Structure 1
Amino acid sequence: MTIRLRAHHLLCLLTYVGKGYSSAFTANYDGIAERLSRGEDILLVSGPDDICARLLDEPEPHCLRDSASARDQLAARDVEDLLTRPIHAGARLDLDAATLVRMRQAFSTGLVRKACEGCEWSALCSTVAAGNYRDTRLQRPAETENCPF
């Protein structure tokens, strides 16, 4: 199967440690992290994705706000520059161990953090990155063998 993700969630996944907006949201996110860890590929989408799914029943889901779309645009540009490949709706991405390590290194140095400005989770993500991504839910089998963190 394929996991549908919006661009800024490519960054959120890097530091996800099991915290979220609600228990239903977290359970869904845990499942997505597990599926990605097993090697499922990503289809980039515009707007709400598989992570947002548990928030869409709220009266005013933040995933429909312009700020989420702006984060998507910033993240897409940063990740596209980093990976030197198109990051847009309809593109597919395999988040293999080498790509995950590369993205986490760029995240740690601030190279791909423009989309994170003003995000309520930014401080937590900074703490996770500073802790060498310990306890993150997204892990690829070869990552632990080759990861410099």
Structure 2
Amino acid sequence: MTVRLRAHHLLCMLTYVGKGYSPAFCTGFDAIARRLSGREEILIVEGPDDVCQPLLGEEGAHCHRPGVLERDRRAAAAVAALLDWPIAPGERLRLDPRLLARLRRAFEAGTIRAACGKCEWSELCTRIAANGYAGTRLDMAKDVEAA
């Protein structure tokens, strides 16, 4: 199978520790983190993705708002510049320990966080990165040490 992710969720997945908008959101993101930890392929999509799915039935779901679309644009540009790889709808990638470590180093350094400026979770993510990503649900730690 393939995990459908919008561009800014490439950043969110780096620091996800089981906190989110609702219990259903967290249950869904936990499942996605397990799939990504198992190296399932990622398909970049425009607009709501697999992470957004539990929120789409809520009135006023933020997943379609212009600010979220701008967050996707900024995240795509930052990650594409880091990886020298296009991050656009239809592109596919697969995480491995080295890629995850590279993304997390850049996130901690702030070089791929242009999309995080007005995000309500930004401070939490900063603390998680500063704490060495302890407790994150996306975990390839055993493989990272071997890489």
**TM-score, structure 1 length as denominator?**
0.96
Per-residue CA deviations over 1:86-105 (Å, capped at 9, x if unaligned) read 10000001111111000000
Secondary structure of 1:142's counterpart equals helix
CA distance in structure 2 between the aligned counterparts of 1:97 and 1:113, rounded to whole angstroms: 20
Q: Equivalent residue for 1:63?
A: 63
Per-residue CA deviations over 1:50-90 (Å, capped at 9, x if unaligned) read 00000000111111100110000000000000000010000
CA distance in structure 1 between the aligned counterparts of 2:11 and 2:3, rounded to whole angstroms: 15
Task: Assess, with a 3 A threshold, how the Cα gap between structure 1 residues 144 and 63 changes in structure 2: closer, same or farther.
Answer: farther
CA distance in structure 2 between the aligned counterparts of 1:41 and 1:18, rounded to whole angstroms: 21
Q: Equivalent residue for 1:109?
A: 109
Secondary structure of 1:42's counterpart equals strand
Secondary structure of 1:69's counterpart equals helix
CA distance in structure 1 between the aligned counterparts of 2:118 and 2:35, rounded to whole angstroms: 29
Q: Equivalent residue for 2:143?
A: 142
CA RMSD of aligned residues (A): 0.8
In the alignment of these two chains, the number of paired residues is 146
Q: Percent identity?
A: 53
| Runs of at least 5 residues in structure 1 that lack an aligned partner in the other structure | none
- How far apart are residue 143 of structure 1 and its match? 1.9
| Runs of at least 5 residues in structure 2 that lack an aligned partner in the other structure | none
- How far apart are residue 145 of structure 1 and its match? 3.9
1:26 aligns with 2:26: yes
CA distance in structure 2 between the aligned counterparts of 1:96 and 1:73, rounded to whole angstroms: 24
**TM-score, structure 2 length as denominator?**
0.97
Secondary structure of 1:135's counterpart equals coil
